[in-house]
A and B are shown apart, each in its own frame.
Chain A
Amino acid sequence: MSSKTTSAAAASASPPATDWTGSELLLKALVDQGVEVIFGYPGGAVLPIYDALFQQNSLRHILVRQEGGAVHAAEGYARSTGKVGVVLVTSGPGATNAVTGLTDALMDSVPVVCLTGQVPTHLIGNDAFQEADTTGITRPCTKHNYLVKDITKLSRTVHEAFHVARSGRPGPVVVDLPKDILVGRSTVYEGPEAGMRKTYAPRLEPDADRIEQALEMMARAKRPLFYCGGGVINSGPKAVELLTQLVRATGFPCTLTLMGLGAFPASDPLFLGMVGMHGTWESNHAMHDCDLMINVGARFDDRVTGKIAAFSPGSKKIHIDIDPSSINKNVRVDLPIVGDAGKALAGLLSGWKSRKAKGDAGHAKDLAAWWDQIEKWRARDCLRYEKTDKVIKPQYAIQRLYELTKGRDCYITTEVGQHQMWAAQFYKFDKPNHWMTSGGLGTMGYGLPAAMGVQVAHPDALVVDIAGEASILMNIQELSTICQYRLPVKAFILNNQYMGMVRQWQELLHGGRYSESYMDSLPDFVKLAESFHCVGLRATKVSEVDDVIKEMLKVKQPVVVDVAVDQTENCFPMIPSGAAHNEMLLGPADKKKPGGAISEDGMVLV
């Protein structure tokens, strides 16, 4: 037989070149979506995917220690890059462990695609081993979810999932994959260009008339204020740049939400600091007293508004948001503008410039008076705290961390609680995507895995998880992942041996009865770090703070720093629950005001 005939025979006998297993189709779709990293944990239902992963080199897999860590890592990856974070977990407990992270991503509008294994289609509904109704469980905590029942629709579904996750207001999307689909074979593969269904088309382009109305309101305002949030960051670096230009062109003051930090440079004098429950005195008073509020990509969260009935009573409100359901949800606004923040800001900026050229852009005299008032508020120096040599103040530790890391490409994540608020108050962000914190859901245990995801995306950057000792223990197992992949993450623990924010509320609201907020028998974090092959450092004296930070920065390995801070320190300023912006407490002395700090109405709020 000649060689020619052999090859011809082989060609006719071989199956079509395009015959893939479901797992191969899945990975192909991920590669075509530009995915580079997956955070995951294997299990029975996803073994075929792991087998396919083993046989390729395009996708990197980071093996976490618990599925919850995988989702937070994907969130950190997504928020620090603007890309979609990808998670792969098994059925049943794999999926249920992912639920907290998915809810977190939904609340904070983080693009995540979570691939979950599922028992084979014929066993669904039979209470099979490791079966959970994943689409049922995740329906309220995802932007959308899918159960793939037909292998020919697998690739299209994955592409649609990515599109839904990243477009409009971003969010988490679950794709549930029964095992028979993963091992089945199909010739059908559709690329990312496969059309998205007609029902989903977020509005991006703002209404031009409304932009014009907004400009008119801005030109007439005497006490204007920009109130901006994470939506600006989600819109992309261009939107952040446009916001900065617009604020500077107008000379209006600007405040940011917790999620928005970095959307406007903290070092700019036009920045008033963070707004809300633990925001600055000047931000909250400006919110209360302004006559025009320009909300870009923020959602009037209850942590920002305080008592709704007393929220900024004298202002007209413009609300720019990509999600129509965010508008008029908590606060009725005068001018809603649905669309992408970047596009709206571009319209406002060019409109403002042409008005300025015509001399029709604002009342300089009124604006100067408004700034005089703001400077008086600012002079209160609301973030001041007692400086002492006796005990390490948590604020001091963060201030030193900021001073010793500024100028470097530094990404900060946090857990949830007092340390988170102090980080937001004392660490200054001049760039977007460098601040990763759990805002909406308030998920303790977010910071360490999130830092891991950030470090995977930025291997050479400095990534610090500003943590509390209680929060970090919720996902401490991820130190093992951090070690395995040689990720030089720094965990900077402000250790007060209390769930600090719980303790603070118990002090202010519950007569100082510290019910279950003190943790006895905490681990020795230095030894704990060492057992996870990390470097452990400790500071117990004020004089040691700089040294441990410098040492932490010098070490090229993962580091856990245990900073023993003042156990009784509280986070101020604070708008007590149920109070208005101009009723904020500045410090410990304020709580002794007549009538007490917290009203009865406020007691029921969280």
Chain B
Amino acid sequence: MTAVERHTISVIVDNEPGILARVVGLFSGRGYNIESLTVAETDSREHRSRITLVTSGTPMIIEQIKAQLERLVPVHKVSDLTEGGAHVERELALIKVRGTGEKRVESLRIADIFRARAIDSTIDSFVFEMTGSTDKIDAFVKLMEPLGLIEVARTGVAAISRGSQAL
């Protein structure tokens, strides 16, 4: 068995009806994993969207995923950021924590360490906003669990390569 790898893949597509269904259907139909998927129009003049996918599989599966994505007619470009080398990945998360007393103070203290911002506050709750790598958000969420974590919303990964080259 070859080891399973985690890859972040950027896909530039024509922003047309059904394109997301095409991409998602390809993954479900062929049994590939989607760990995270984000999509939004990034070029309003050309009506192009950027889909950022985090997926995992053996090297042969990852190669298949890219080839299958490239085969879709509305796809302009598929770029494997993990394979391409240095890149940055960020996720935004909104984390709601309910608690009073020492736990409430502790959650605020940890939020400060993680550079999370409180963007909503009641007498017994906070909503924290934070951006960071998936790992960092995971770590923060885990720390919030004993402190009254009640809800999490995450955007999924947005990623871009480092350096002066564009996709």
Taking Cβ atoms with an 8 Å cutoff, the residues of A that contact B are 135-136, 139-140, 143-144, 147, 164, 197-200, 323-325, 327-329, 332
Contact = CB atoms under 8 A, between A and B. Distances in A.
Given A135-B18, A325-B67, A328-B63, A199 B25 contact: no
Given A136-B21, A325-B70, 9 more contacts: A139-B21, A139-B25, A140-B29, A164-B73, A198-B76, A199-B13, A199-B73, A323-B71, A329-B60
B67 A327 contact: yes
B3 to A, nearest CB: 15
Contacts of A324: 67, 70-71
Contacts of B74: 197, 199
Secondary structure dominating the interface of B: helix
A147 B17 contact: yes
A401 B155 CA distance: 65
Interface in B9-27: 13-14, 17-18, 21-22, 25-26
Contacts of B121: none
Contacts of A332: 60
A199 B71 contact: no
Interface of B: 13-14, 17-18, 21-22, 25-26, 29, 60, 63-64, 67-68, 70-76
Contacts of B21: 136, 139
B75 A199 contact: yes
Contacts of A328: 60, 63-64
A197 B22 contact: no
Contacts of B63: 328
Contacts of B25: 139-140
13 contacts: A136-B21, A143-B73, A197-B14, A197-B73, A199-B13, A199-B76, A324-B67, A324-B71, A325-B71, A327-B67, A328-B64, A329-B60, A329-B67
Contacts of B73: 143-144, 164, 197, 199-200
A164 B74 CA distance: 12
Nearest to B21: A139
Nearest to B12: A199
Contacts of A139: 18, 21-22, 25
A324 B75 CA distance: 15
Contacts of B17: 147
A136 B29 CA distance: 13
Nearest to B63: A328
A529 B64 CA distance: 48
In this complex, which of B17, B67, B70, B74 has the most chain A Cβ atoms within 10 angstroms of its Cβ? Answer: B67
A122 to B, nearest CB: 16
A502 B25 CA distance: 32
A164 B75 CA distance: 14
Contacts of A325: 64, 67-68, 70-71
Contacts of B70: 324-325
A164 B73 CA distance: 8
In this complex, which of A139, A199, A327, A329 has the most chain B Cβ atoms within 10 angstroms of its Cβ? Answer: A199
B11 to A, nearest CB: 11
Contacts of B72: 144
A333 B18 CA distance: 34
B64 A329 contact: yes
Nearest to B17: A147
Contacts of A323: 71
A324 B69 CA distance: 11
Q: Please provide the 10 A-B residue pairs with the shortest distance between their CB atoms, ordered closest to farther.
A: A325-B67, A144-B73, A324-B67, A200-B73, A199-B76, A325-B68, A140-B29, A325-B71, A140-B25, A328-B63
A324 B66 CA distance: 10
A33 to B, nearest CB: 18
Nearest to A196: B73
A139 B74 CA distance: 13
A414 B86 CA distance: 54
Nearest to B67: A325
A164 B71 CA distance: 11
B87 to A, nearest CB: 23
A329 B62 CA distance: 10
Contacts of B26: 140
A443 B64 CA distance: 26
A198 B77 CA distance: 11
B131 to A, nearest CB: 31
Contacts of A198: 76
